[in-house]
Chains A and B, each alone.
Chain A
Amino acid sequence: MVTDETLAKYDMTIGIECHVQLATNTKLFSGANNDARDQSPNSVVSPIDFGLPGMLPVLNRGAVDLAIKAGKALESTIAHVSRFDRKHYFYPDLPKGYQTTQMYQPIIGPGIVHVPLDGEIIDVHIDHAHMEEDAGKLTHYGDYSLVDLNRAGTPLIEIVSEPDIHSPQAAKAYATELYYLMTYADVTRGDLYQGNMRFDVNLSVALKGATELGTRSEVKNLNSFRSVERAAEYEFRRQVERLERGERIIQETRGWDDATQKTASQRSKEDAQDYRYMPDADIPPIVLTDEEITRIQATVPPLPAEYRTQWLSLELDQSVVDSLLANRSYAVLISEIQRNAGDSIAKRVAHWFSSALGHDETETGIIASNFTPEGFIELATMVESNELSSTASKEIFVELLTSDQTPRQIAESKNLLQVSDEGAIAAIVDEVLADPASAQAVAAIKQGNDKVIGFLVGQIMKKSAGKANPALAQRLIRERLQ
């Protein structure tokens, strides 16, 4: 094991390749359904995806449009002319014997991602992003393997970053920000469990101050932000250990094992295949005009940066902002509330969402897109006008998420409305003040010890079963003791 002091002698350099599954209805080159979830194996496969003789690709224009949208999210230039190439290798998950990709002229040019991390912004440059088709899936059993081509031909873009990342935390933050960008731009369904976004982490280490980068390893197919971070941590440590032992780093592809939290070698560069790239003559170039690009990019919904800017006046903690951005429908909702009902109301609702839903990357099961802002605005307004206590409002909020009743209906049925009727509260105040148990407190207040008034308000709240408006109760006590 290397010590922290040893680790501190080294810098790490990370570049990330991210495969994003595009949310098209059909595959990249065929009319087969692009949503293979819950489909039986080989049931959404067209003769084109199957690689039947004589079949030709027909480019899905919807996929091109999504790539153009992704380009906007990445602040990239879009190529006026881009082309498809063939990448050859033999494997049973690859029906044509080649993957159709963009090797030489990708559609998305250089760009940049601004990654928030610990209150700062790290700029990660994008080298390019290209369109390509996914392969099928192989499942191995004893002495045989089964091929499922449902995923074969699914449209992807591969986003290739520059090596601008220098910590596992930054790697995670970059992956997270890419996820936000791609889901907010409507490029992908963003289902990480289904592998809608997969990350390859390229990492090398070098002694601090070294002018040349070390030999890199590539950890492939990470499908969660946490595994990106952990794999980078593991690889950093592993490479430093090797160097400290006087060994060299082998350029290789490694796999991440979630169970052991380790990477393991899959193949070294020496066995790397020659993919024999060549232009795909079956697919004419994608030719785009500025007008087309502008028209398509104008349909991109607001991106995370826009929400962050809009929410500055809410003065939310970073963690609250993150938990809201983690699901675009929350972000949309909060912004709508902010526009319709102002900062104070929006801030209240933001905190409810943040604390009730947490910010885990796993699904909460609650689909906020079903919500309308009205219920939340009403609830927050009831708190502001003292009709509800802060505690009661949280209970109603949770109820509201799964209820079709209004907040007022829920408050009434749960008997949580604060009593603001002066007569009713006055009666309770009089009762409490007359109570011999209060005599000591009353005397103390009259002598100028104002803090004790809290005790009396507490008694009133108790007697009213929490429904009395505490501010009103306090005013009535003061009136009577003056």
Chain B
Amino acid sequence: MTNIAEIQSQIKASSARSVVEAALTKARDNENYHALLSFTDSRALERADKVDSGQITGRLAGVPFVVKDNFLAFGAPTTAASHMLESFQAPLQATAIEKLEAEGAICIGKANLDAFAHGGSTENSAFGPTKNAFDMSRVAGGSSGGSAVVTALHIVPFALGSDTGGSIRQPASFNGVVGVKPTYGTVSRYGVVAMASSTDTIGTFATSAADAEFIMSIISGRDARDMTTLPDFFVPQAIRPAQKIGLIKEFMSDEVDPEVRARTNEYAERLRAEGHVVEEVSLPIVQYTLAMYYIIVPAEVSSNLARYDGIRYGHRAAAPTSLGDLYGRSRDEGFVAENKRRIMIGSYVLSSGFFDAYYQQAQKARTLLIRAFNELFESYDVLLGPVTPTPAFRLGENTSDPIKMYLADIMTVPASLAGIPAISVPAGVSQAGLPIGVQLIGQRRSDANLLSLARSLEEK
């Protein structure tokens, strides 16, 4: 495993420059995975030299990392894996990147994703899919597939992603790394291309819970530029013994792959062995969460993507004949099919006459979901379940059936809609050698507890 501590000792032994160069070389050697859309060589090496000369210091001085290409960053375009923003150069950086850079970390490239983070396989990238780190015929997962794969391939010790309905947890699970979706509002969304404002979260991939915990402690915190950020609360903590953990029954149905259930049960056993209590709990409302999610999120998507109109930046159609033609063709050419699908669903559910029937109903159901979670958290510290119904599926397997693709999100969207923290932790592999992760879900602001729990098990 390549963790942050090992990278730091390599930097001490050689130089930040050599470590960054090695990461860039390894990234290029693995280009067949198509995990990265761009490299930020010159800025990265410049910063590495400054680390070596002592001009840049910090707790992550010289440590290379990668960000999902929906983060505004210097040194390469911010494309959101779309033709719309193919040549968009950001004039500023996301808060999360600024915080990492303030600690001396060095961004070496931008990771592939489903265009505008719409998808669960990275197959919706306008620039081609990312391949699974364990099986190149399978998907990386998504939408933060590139970030998961660069971490799994040990190109960098950590990578940033965004999670709106599972976009960190699912690819983390598919590629055998740790993925953190924090409490809504833990990390500033400033400078990250918005997907769904009420569920977008910024989190990290790492090869260990310990590293993820460390990165979260750096990137989290109140940001005056994002009004939805919470006051600082994330502090790494020691493992709390004898916790009560609820294994979500509805996530362990027959429809879930037997190997996924087996790994989840084994993880439950390991928790018991550590002195925690694991009991089956029921959360019946989860059967409605996909319906809620695919109303609320497309509604917000249709709104957040309205700014891409070809007027001020981004793709503009050639030789428009009218304003309507300019809008229509710029958006048609700039968005992928899945973007358009979500814009259309979102526009529909927000339309006059449908708003109450769809959007308002979904929001009411969402309140019931939050209430159901809160009731469970009166008795349980943590909830446990799989991340996805199956290990990574084959490239192209679900692309012709959007509903089937959406169903893969069934276990990740509840935490997103409830705004509560959930992490994906490696729990072994299938017989075919595909990674399987489990999900730990906690109440709002219990992020550090989830990570300490995962860390206590990986220390064994």
Residues of A within 8 A of B (CB): 47, 50-59, 86, 88, 90, 92, 95-98, 147, 274-278, 280-284
Contacts and interface: CB of A to CB of B under 8 A. Distances in A.
Given A58-B227, A59-B227, A278-B303, 12 more contacts: A47-B91, A53-B80, A54-B70, A54-B189, A55-B190, A56-B228, A88-B350, A95-B311, A97-B306, A275-B352, A276-B351, A278-B299
Given A56-B226, A59-B227, A278 B359 contact: yes
Contacts of B305: 97
A51 B226 contact: no
Interface stretch (B106-114, B193-201, B208-216): B193-201
A98 B190 contact: no
Contacts of B194: 53-54, 56, 282
A98 B307 CA distance: 8
A54 B94 contact: yes
A47 B85 CA distance: 16
Contacts of B90: 53-54
28 contacts: A50-B312, A53-B90, A53-B193, A53-B194, A54-B71, A54-B190, A54-B192, A54-B193, A56-B189, A57-B227, A58-B224, A58-B227, A88-B306, A90-B327, A95-B307, A95-B311, A96-B306, A98-B303, A147-B311, A147-B312, A275-B352, A276-B352, A276-B355, A277-B350, A278-B300, A278-B303, A281-B197, A282-B194
Nearest to A92: B311
Nearest to A91: B323
B78 interface: yes
Interface string B70-111: 111000001010000100101110100000000000000000
A282 B228 contact: yes
A147 B228 CA distance: 31
Contacts of A278: 299-300, 303, 350, 355, 359
B295 to A, nearest CB: 11
A96 B307 contact: yes
Contacts of A58: 224-225, 227
Contacts of B302: 88, 276
B288 interface: no
Contact of A276 (B71, B307, B309, B347): B347
A57 B190 CA distance: 10
B221 interface: no
Across the A-B interface, give the 4 residue pairs with the lowest CB-CB distance, nearest first: A97-B306, A281-B198, A281-B197, A276-B350
Contacts of A47: 91-92
A277 to B, nearest CB: 7
A90 B312 contact: no
Contacts of A280: 197
A97 B306 CA distance: 5
B191 interface: yes
Contacts of B233: none
Chain B: number of interface residues, binned into ranges: 35 or more
Contacts, number: 99
Interface in B33-70: 70
B78 A53 contact: yes
B344 to A, nearest CB: 12
A277 B355 contact: yes
B91 A88 contact: no
B291 to A, nearest CB: 18
Secondary structure of the B side of the interface? loop
Contacts of B94: 54
Interface of B: 70-72, 78, 80, 85, 88, 90-92, 94, 189-194, 196-198, 224-228, 299-300, 302-303, 305-309, 311-313, 323, 327, 347, 350-352, 355, 359
Nearest to B92: A47
A145 to B, nearest CB: 8
A58 B228 CA distance: 10
Nearest to B84: A53
Which of A55, A86, A96, A277 has the largest number of chain B CB atoms within 10 A? A55
Contacts of A281: 196-198, 228, 300
A56 B190 contact: yes
A56 B198 contact: no
Contact of A282 (B72, B92, B227, B307): B227
Contact of A97 (B92, B300, B309): B309
A53 B228 contact: no
A455 B327 CA distance: 86
B227 A283 contact: yes
Contacts of A284: 227-228
A61 to B, nearest CB: 11
Contacts of B224: 58
B303 A88 contact: yes
A92 B228 CA distance: 28
Contacts of B225: 56, 58
Contacts of B347: 276
A55 B306 CA distance: 13
B113 to A, nearest CB: 14
Contacts of B85: 53
Contacts of B92: 47
Nearest to B324: A90
A277 B351 CA distance: 8
A278 B72 CA distance: 26
A280 B308 CA distance: 18
A88 B302 CA distance: 10
Contacts of A283: 227
A28 to B, nearest CB: 13
